Chain A
Amino acid sequence: MSQAVIVPLLLPLLAAIVLLLTRRRLSLALRRKLNLGAVALELAAVLWLFVQVAGEGILVYQVGNWPAPYGIALVADRLSVWMLLITALLACFALLYAVQGTDSGSRHFHPLFQLQLFGLNGAFLTGDLFNLFVFFEVLLLASYGLLLHGGGRARVRAGLHLVILNLLGSTLFLFAVGTLYAILGTLNMADLAVKVAATAPSDVGLVRAAGLLLFTVFALKAALVPLYLWLPAAYAGTSAPVAALFAIMTKVGAYAILRVETLIFGADAGPLAHLLEPFLLPLALLTIVVAGLGVLSADGLRRQAAYLVVLSIGTLLTAFALGTSRGIAAGLYYLPHSTFAAAALFLLADVIARGRGALGDRLNPGPAVPAAPLVGGLFFLLAVTIAGLPPLSGFLGKWMLLQAALDLPAMPWVLALVLSVGLLTIVALARSGSLLFYRPTGGLRGWASAATVSDLAPAVAGEEGARQGGAGDRCVVGGREEHAGPDWSRLAPVMGLAALCLALVAAAGPVTDFTAATAEGLLQPQRYIQAVLVGAAET
C-alpha cells in the first residue's frame, strides 16, 4: 500500500486546482464547503496513512517507479506522519476560523490555503533534498500570498522582509544542494546518508560547509536566533487564521533540522557525525532567552503570540539538540502542543481584538471584551498551557525535556534558561490577561460596551458588518447584528485547538509511547536507509 504515501500530496493539489478553476463560477459559500470537505478528506487520508505507518513501519513510494536513488522517493516514516497529522488537524481549525469571514477578501484565499498544505505535506514526505527545496518554494509562495491576504501596510512591510529573506535562503539552499551533489553525486537523503559516511578526507571540509549552509537555511525557516527577525512582524500583522496556520511553518524548519541531523549527519556519518551539534544547542537556548524578552516586551497580544512561536521553536530545538532519544521524544511531544496552543492563541487574540473595537489587541486597559468570562477562561487555559504550568500539555512537554537534559553536561544551562524564561512567560501572560480582562475601563459590560465601542469606531463595526454579510455581500453599518453573547462560530475553532491540547494530556501515555518509538527510529537511520534503498531494489 505504498501508494497511500502520495495521497496527502495529491488531495490538496487537486483541491487547489478545483478551487482555483471555480473561483469565479461558484459562490463563496460553496467554495468554503468544498475547501472544508477537502481538508476533512485530507485529515482522513493522513489518519489512514498514520495507522498504516504506525503498524507496518516505513512506507516508501518511488515516484514513476524509478528506483531510488535515481528517482524521487516519497518516504512516510513515523516522524513524517506525525508532522502530517499535526498539519492536517491544524488546517481544519484554521480553515474553520477563516470561513467566518477572513476568506472573503480575495478569491485566491482557498486555492492558496490548499497549496500551502500541498507544500507542507510535500516537505514532510519527500526523501530527496532537491525535492525538499521545491516543496519549500511551493509552501513559501503560497505563504506569501496568504500573508498578504487582506492587504494593509503592516502586511506589505512584513511580507517584503519575509519574501526577500526567504529568496536569499533559497539561494543558499541551492548552493548547499549543489555542493553536496558535486561531491557525493546524489541528492536522495538515504543515499546521501550512506555516501556522507564514506566522504574522502579531502572533501570533508566541503561537505561540512554544505551541511552548515543547509542548517543556516533551515534555521531561517525555523526562526532561530539570529535569523528570527522576520517572524514577529509577519505573524503579528497577518490575519488570524493565516497566523494560526503559520504556527506549523516554523516547525518545517525544525523538522528539516531534525531530519538532516539524525539521518545525514547522524552518529554513523564518520568524520561528519553530529555536524550541527556544537551550534544547535547554544543557538536554541539563545532563542529561548531572546524570545522570552520579546514576549515580555510585546505591547500587543498578537505580537506576544508571535514571540511565543519563537519561544516554542527555541524549546523544541533545545530538545532536538540534546541528541538523545529521550530529548527528541520530548521535543516530538512538545511540537504538537506548541503548534496547537500558539494557533489557538492567535485565533483568540483576534476574537479579543474584535471585541475591543479600535483598541484591537493592544495591551492597554480598555472596554471589557464581550462574553468576557468565556473568552477570559479560554485565555487562562491557553496561557496555562503555553507557560507550561501543570497539569496541561506544556508542563508535560517541558517536564520531559528537562528530565532528558538531567544527565547531560548541558544540564545547568538547559534547566536554568528553560525554567527562568518559563517564569518570564508566566509574568507576561498574567500581565496580558489582567490588562485585558480584569481592568476594563468605563464600567460597561456585555453588549452594552460592544455598542459603545461601535459608536467610537464605526469603521470597525463596518468591518464586522461586512464580514457578517457572508458571501461577499456588504451590510450597512446600522444593519449589523448586535451579538451580546459569545461569538460561538469564532470561538469554536479556538476551543477545538484547546481541546486538542487537552487531548494531548489525556492521551499522554500512547502519545509518549509513539514519540519515543519515533525518536528511537530516528536514531537508527539504517532502517530508513534500508527501506528507501533496499526496499526500492526489490520492487
Chain B
Amino acid sequence: MEALFAGIIASLTGCGVYLALRAYTFPVVLGLTLLSYGVNLFLFATGRLTVGQPAVISDTAAGYADPLPQALVLTAIVIAFGMTAFVIMLALKAKAELGNDHVDGRPPDNPRDEWEQDRADGWANDREDEA
C-alpha cells in the first residue's frame, strides 16, 4: 500500500510541476490543482497509513489512526479550494484585460516590451476601473 500511495503522490506532484511550468494559464491552474491534490494526500499520509483503526479512544482497538493529519488536510483542502477559485478568476480577468492567456500577459511571438506597455497604460489604471 505504501508503494502505491507514494507512486500516486509522486505522479500527481510530477504532473503538477510539469503543468505549472507551462506557458498558458489554463495548464498552470490545472498543475496547481494537481499539486494541491498531491500535497493533500502527502499530508494525509504523515500520520502513517492505517486501515480500519479508530481515531477516538476505544477499549478494543489494536492501534489508532492519527487524527491530526486529517484536521490538517481538511484545512489544506479548504485553503487550496479557495486559492484555486481565486486563481481561476484571476486567469479569466487576465485573459479579458490582456487579450491573451499567456502567463506573462503577452504571447511569445509578439515580444512587445512589457515595461513600455505597462507605462503606456500605467498611470490611468485606477481611473479605468472606477469608470
Contact = CB atoms under 8 A, between A and B. Distances in A.
Contact of A157 (B76, B86, B87, B105): B105
A153 B105 contact: yes
- Interface size grouping (class) on chain B: 35 or more
B97 interface: yes
A175 B39 contact: yes
Interface residues of A, number: 48
B98 A153 contact: yes
A1 interface: no
Interface stretch (A118-126, A178-186, A316-324, A521-529): A178-186
Nearest to A356: B123
Contacts of A299: 115
B103 interface: yes
Contacts of A163: 83, 86-87, 90
A170 B83 contact: yes
B46 A181 contact: yes
B128 A152 contact: yes
A171 B79 CA distance: 11
Nearest to A155: B125
B122 A167 contact: no
Contacts of B61: none
A144 B115 contact: no
Interface stretch (A16-24, A381-389, A435-443, A455-463): A455-463
Nearest to A106: B129
Contact of A156 (B28, B39, B94): B94
A134 interface: yes
Nearest to A182: B46
A97 to B, nearest CB: 14
Contacts of A353: 123
A177 B68 CA distance: 12
Interface string B35-68: 1101110110111100000000000000000001
Contact of B75 (A104, A134, A460): A134
A403 interface: no
B117 interface: yes
B2 interface: no
A507 interface: no
Q: Which of A157, A161, A167 has the most CB of B within 10 A?
A: A167
A102 B126 CA distance: 8
21 contacts: A105-B126, A141-B82, A151-B126, A152-B97, A152-B125, A153-B105, A153-B125, A154-B121, A154-B125, A156-B97, A156-B98, A157-B94, A159-B90, A167-B83, A167-B87, A178-B42, A178-B43, A178-B46, A360-B123, A459-B124, A466-B130
Given A134-B75, A148-B90, 11 more contacts: A104-B130, A106-B129, A150-B126, A151-B126, A153-B98, A154-B122, A178-B39, A178-B42, A181-B72, A182-B47, A459-B124
Interface of A: 102, 104-106, 130, 134, 137, 141, 144, 148, 150-157, 159-161, 163-164, 167-168, 170-171, 174-175, 177-179, 181-182, 233, 237, 239, 299-300, 353, 358, 360, 362, 459-460, 462-463, 466
